[in-house]
Amino acid sequence: MTDDASVTGEPDTRALDDLLDDLYRGQERITQADIYRRAVAAELPPELLARIDALPEGEYAVDEVSDLLGGSVG
Domain residue limits, the chain: 12-69
* 25-36 pLDDT per residue, tens: 999 999 999 999
Q: What is the pTM of this model?
A: 0.79
Q: How many helices (H) and strands (E) does the chain have?
A: 5, 2
pLDDT (average), residues 14-38: 93
Q: Is 19 exposed, middle or buried (0-12, 13-18, 19+ CB in 10 A)?
A: buried
CB contact set of 44 (below 8 Å; sequence gap of 6+): 15, 16, 19, 52
| DSSP state letter for 29 | E
pLDDT at 63 > cutoff 50: yes
